Structure 1
Amino acid sequence: MKFIDFFERAYVINLPERVDRRKGMEKELKRFEMSFEPGKIELFSAIRPDSAGPFKSIGYRGVFLSHLSILKQARELKLDNVLVMEDDLEFSENFCEYEESLIEQLQKTNWDIVQFGYFPEKNSELPTGSKLATYQPFTGDLIGTHFYAVNSKVFDKLIGFFETLLERPAGHPEGGPMSPDGVLNIFSRQNQDTVRLIPTPSFGGQRSSRSDCHTDLKWFDNLPISRQLVTVARDLGLVQKMKNILKK
């Protein structure tokens, strides 16, 4: 079974004005014989709030609400599972080789949440597998909700947790408004009966592009005339080289 066939629905979160990211994601999907298709892999118009509210930025609030809305939609449609991707996802080079193995193992495994792509937090020890595409239960801290899946049996509990965080003030000791990756970390710790899996190694990174989540956008990202040139430069890896030079 192909990887995408296992999931009832897949969503790619994308701000409508970020045509660059949408096109980049189209290319990324095409690399692995996938494409946008109604009822299978759909674009989800990311929510863009008018204010940051209790969040660090408008972007953080928007991505939180976007992930929550997808989960609610999946529950409303009574889907068995849902795959969530952000529009800067970059599949690992060995994804194609192991995609069938990833699904074969998942079919035989009890799971609630799987983070196919992730980055370890500082001081967070990741399990080591004896071979590629081996799932491991994980309750530590990870960065990244750019490539993950949720099983329907945990929809209610996870949606309820998202909504509870919205009702709390920022900095609440049990969790308040935060990024979606923080939500999954705290949810996992506070719900030990939830099976959260990660494959070793990670099968999805993130393409370099201007972020809409952070308030510290660089000067060249805020100039409309230069954005297209910066996008091309990022694709060529030139932006990171410029940053490294400026740090010296």
Structure 2
Amino acid sequence: MSDPRAAISTAFLDAAGPIVLVNLPYRADRRQEFAGQLQGLGLSYDHPKVKVFAAIRPETAEGFPTIGTRGCFLSHLGILRQALANGWDRVLICEDDLDFADDALARLPGITAHLAGSDWAMFYGGYGDAVSGTEVAPGLVKLDPASGVSCTHFYAIRGPAIADLVRYLDSMLAREPGHPDGGPMHYDGALCWFRKAHPQHMTLAAVPPIGVQRPSRTDIHDLRWFDRWPGFRSLTSLARKVVGARRGTSRT
């Protein structure tokens, strides 16, 4: 018997694009954790629309706040370039610390229906700080191009916006930090700059989000002391799992 969860999730991927997971090869822990998230949606790494992108970890920051910040920027840009090379008209990018909300599966059909029937360019399934906009469907808003959105753990982009964003990010890489037109910066900030500079590209967001960031050791910023010491690192990892489990319970 076919899994009804898989049917709902596959329809969502048809509308939003194939999942491409950003994952550093040495973070097998995160790949395993995300496998559990996929399973909850009736999906797996064997699904034809689930891909893994080997995230980039550069040697130097080259004008970015940290090496990890540059790696994040280059990894997302690499996925966008891959989408263009593959001829994809849409792509759904997920970072490996993404947890799907407890009600995500129940809300996906409504979100899918609107994505399939509207001329959107970007879609945020998750974000950091709360966002607001014009409601276009239950649980879905249209964002003002100038509104800020933090975090990039769960978003999709489609159509001409993919090529436009690649060109925009390449231009950022060629500029000096702090350039008035935008230079090297955190990737979520770069997306906000892009949206403001391209108001013709409509951005939608799920409200509340259908995906949140799981508490996890960072690959973007310098590690804090308790993530560097092996004994404390194990305890910290356990504590984060407890926090994540409690947060999941609070969403039910």
Q: TM-score, normalised by structure 2?
A: 0.87
Cα displacement (A) at 1:112: 0.8
Whole-angstrom distance in 2 between the partners of 1:173 and 1:130: 33
Are 1:172 and 2:189 matched, yes or no? no
Relative to 1, partners in 2 of residues 1:208 and 1:86: Cα closer, same or farther, differing over 3 Å? same
Query: Hey, what does 1:94 align to over in structure 2?
Result: 103
Query: Hey, what does 1:194 align to over in structure 2?
Result: 201
From 159, 167, 185, the counterpart of 2:192: 185
How many residues were matched structurally? 235
Counterpart secondary structure, 1:145: coil
Cα displacement (A) at 1:8: 4.3
Whole-angstrom distance in 1 between the partners of 2:39 and 2:242: 19
Query: Hey, what does 1:233 align to over in structure 2?
Result: 239
Deviation per CA, 1:61-93: give whole Å up to 9, x if none. 000000000000000000121000000011112
Query: Hey, what does 1:143 align to over in structure 2?
Result: 150
Deviation per CA, 1:16-45: give whole Å up to 9, x if none. 111211111111111121211364111111
Deviation per CA, 1:130-153: give whole Å up to 9, x if none. 974223233200101110001032
* Residues 133 and 141, structure 2, Cα contact 8 Å, conserved in 1: no
Q: Quote the sequence identity (%).
A: 35
**Could you say what the CA RMSD is over the residues aligned between the two structures, in angstroms?**
2.0
Query: Hey, what does 1:117 align to over in structure 2?
Result: 126
* Residues 120 and 142, structure 1, Cα contact 8 Å, conserved in 2: yes
Query: Hey, what does 1:160 align to over in structure 2?
Result: 167
| Paired amino acid for 1:228 | S
Cα displacement (A) at 1:162: 0.5
Cα displacement (A) at 1:179: 1.5
* Residues 128 and 200, structure 1, Cα contact 8 Å, conserved in 2: no
From 67, 80, 84, the counterpart of 1:71: 80
Cα displacement (A) at 1:94: 1.3
* Residues 116 and 199, structure 1, Cα contact 8 Å, conserved in 2: yes
* Residues 126 and 209, structure 2, Cα contact 8 Å, conserved in 1: yes
* Residues 59 and 67, structure 2, Cα contact 8 Å, conserved in 1: yes
* Residues 135 and 200, structure 1, Cα contact 8 Å, conserved in 2: yes
* Residues 136 and 142, structure 2, Cα contact 8 Å, conserved in 1: no
Relative to 1, partners in 2 of residues 1:11 and 1:47: Cα closer, same or farther, differing over 3 Å? same
In structure 2, list runs of 5 or more residues that go unmatched: 1-7, 247-252
Deviation per CA, 1:149-201: give whole Å up to 9, x if none. 01032121110000000011111112111111111100111111111111222
Whole-angstrom distance in 2 between the partners of 1:209 and 1:191: 33
Counterpart secondary structure, 1:83: strand
| Paired amino acid for 2:195 | S
Whole-angstrom distance in 2 between the partners of 1:228 and 1:19: 15
* Residues 26 and 36, structure 1, Cα contact 8 Å, conserved in 2: yes
Query: Hey, what does 1:127 align to over in structure 2?
Result: 133
Counterpart secondary structure, 2:206: strand
* Residues 3 and 103, structure 1, Cα contact 8 Å, conserved in 2: yes
From 9, 30, 33, the counterpart of 2:39: 30
Query: Hey, what does 1:105 align to over in structure 2?
Result: 114
Counterpart secondary structure, 2:53: strand
Cα displacement (A) at 1:128: 6.3
Whole-angstrom distance in 2 between the partners of 1:210 and 1:199: 26
Higher helix share: 2
Counterpart secondary structure, 2:170: helix
Bigger shift: residues 35-44 or 191-200? 35-44
Deviation per CA, 1:100-139: give whole Å up to 9, x if none. 1111011111111111111237xxx622649742232332
Query: Hey, what does 1:56 align to over in structure 2?
Result: 65
* Residues 116 and 202, structure 1, Cα contact 8 Å, conserved in 2: yes
* Residues 127 and 200, structure 1, Cα contact 8 Å, conserved in 2: no
* Residues 34 and 96, structure 2, Cα contact 8 Å, conserved in 1: yes
Whole-angstrom distance in 1 between the partners of 2:47 and 2:79: 15
